[in-house]
Structures are given as structure tokens and as C-alpha cells.
Amino acid sequence: MRLSRRRILAIVRKELREYRHNGAIITTMAVLPMIFIVAPLIEVLALPASSAGALLAGDPLAILLGIPALVPGTLAAYAVVGERQQGTLEPVLTTPIRREEFLLAKAVAALLPSLVISLVVYAFFLGCVKVFAQPEVASAVFRGQDILAQVLFTPLLATWSIWVGIAVSARSGDQRVAQQLSALASLPSILVIYLVAYNVIPVTANLAFGIGALLLVLDVLGWRIGSALFDRERLVTGSR
């Protein structure tokens, strides 16, 4: 099967234009991550210099990975059912685009703003720590391995969250239900993140590598599974 770069980019560009024309989408996406930074930010800023060592014991900032684990899925949940509800899905499906191309384009279009928002929010967090936290606390937060983990796991988690959202979207009849189901489906990832953050699951390099590899496999499988769940006939006729 040959994928067409031009067809994929057509949908990506269209999606990005729609985001641009509807600022509420991105604003909403940017507000949700605040939930994830408020608690750790207060915790870190309130820490006295003498307690900086406590930060080194666990990985409380892993909570910030909840942003890419949750937020992109809610955007992706709109991908198929949203087009269907606004009546634009059928015209697109009558073009030569393959379902794999369509879904890949939708995923890329959801991933781009998700990455930007996740990383900007993380940078904002680090900036606040740098400026307002005790210097000892700040230096404990600015650990290379943590920053690397954020940078590497953000796209992996975001992609997985997007495929879950798209899979839900491809099988849902209502956009709101799809967004709620997508949020629910993200809970297992968020649970793992919390367990790591509170040191219930101690992080080792091997564990981090294992989880990263698993996510990579899931991300590739997610595309295949999402494509398999994308049934033109059901989507066009609205049959269950």
C-alpha cells in the first residue's frame, strides 16, 4: 500500500487551518494542562531549601506527563465523529484518500498542537521554578534525566492518547460521548504516571526504556487498530 504524502498533508493543513480559525480549540487545550501543573508547582515553590533532597528521592514531576496522556485524546476524539456530525466526512471519503492516510493525517494534526502545548507548559513550569523556587530546589528540579524523560515520553504518550481518541471517535455516534470515553480511556496511563510520580513504581533506566519501547509499539499498533476500526460503511450510514 502506497501512502500519499500530498493527501495526508491536505488533511493536516486543513485541520491546522481549522484550529487557527477556531481559537477556542487551542485555548481549551491549553487550559486543561493547568490542572496538572498547579499542584506540583505549589509543592515545589513551597519547599524549603533543606527539603530539596526529597525531590531527588522520587519523581514527582512525572505528573506533568499527564498532560500529553490526557489532552491530545480529547482533541483526537473529535477527529472522525466530529467530521461525521458536521457532514464533511462523506465528501472526504468519496475522494481517493485511504483510511490509513486519513487517520494518520488526523493524528499528526492533533499531535502537533499537543506537543507544543505540553512542552510550553513544561517550560513554563521550569521557568517558574527557576525564578521563584529556592535555588537548591531549582537545581534538584533541573535534572537532565527528568527533562530528557519529559521530552521523550511526551510524544510517545501523546501519540498513544491520540490513537485511543481516534479509535473511540471512529466507533462513536456522538462527539461529546467520544470525548468523555477518550478521557476515561486515558485513565490507565494517568494511573501509571501517578504511581511513578509517588514512587509506588520506582523508576529505573530499564523500566523507563521498557515503557518507552512498549509505547512505541502501541503507537504503531494504534494506527493499525484505528484503521481497522474505521468502517466507511458504518460511518456513512450511521449503523451501529
Partner 1 sequence: MSGTDAVPSTASGGGAPALVVDHLTKRFGDRAAFEDLSFEVGRGEVFGFLGPNGAGKTTTVRTLATLLAPTSGSATVAGIPLTTENGVEIRRRISVMPESPGLYLRLSVVENLRCFADLYEVSDAGDRIDRALHAVDLSDRADETCGTLSKGLRQRVALARALLSDPDVLFLDEPTSGLDPVAARDVHELIDELRKRGVTIFLTTHRLDEAERLCDRVAILSTTLRTIGRPDELRDELFARMLAVTTVAALSEPDRVFGGLPGVDRWRQDGPATYLLDVSDAAVAAPAVTRSLVAAGADVLSISQSHHSLEDVYLELIDEERKAARG
User: How open is the CA angle 114-165-213, to the nearest 5 degrees?
Assistant: 70
Instruction: Rule CB under 8 A: choose which of 6, 27, 204, 240 binds partner 1.
Output: 6
- Indicate the residue among 10 and 115 with the shorter CB distance to partner 1: 10
Toward partner 1, which CB reaches closer, 14 or 176? Answer: 14
Give the binding range for partner 1 (CB under 8 A) out of 58-66, 118-126, 149-157, 228-236.
Answer: 228-236
Q: Give the residue with the Cβ less far from partner 1, 10 or 218.
A: 10
Sign for the pseudo-dihedral over CA of 174, 110, 182, 125: negative
Using CB under 8 A as the binding rule, whether residue 239 contacts partner 1 is answered as: yes
Binding mask 63-102 for partner 1 (x = CB under 8 A): -----------------------xxxxxxxxxxxxx----
What 131-140 contacts at long range (C-beta under 8 Å, 24+ apart), as own/partner pairs, is 132/45, 133/44, 133/45, 133/47, 134/47, 134/48, 134/49, 134/52, 135/49, 136/49, 136/50, 136/52, 137/44, 137/47, 137/49, 137/51, 137/52, 137/55, 139/52, 140/52, 140/53, 140/55, 140/56
Q: Which residue has the cell 462523506?
A: 90
- Contact letters for partner 1, residues 7-46 (x by CB under 8 A): x-xxx-xx--xx--xx------------------------
| Residues making contact with partner 1 (CB under 8 A) | 4, 6-7, 9-11, 13-14, 17-18, 21-22, 86-98, 232-233, 236-237, 239
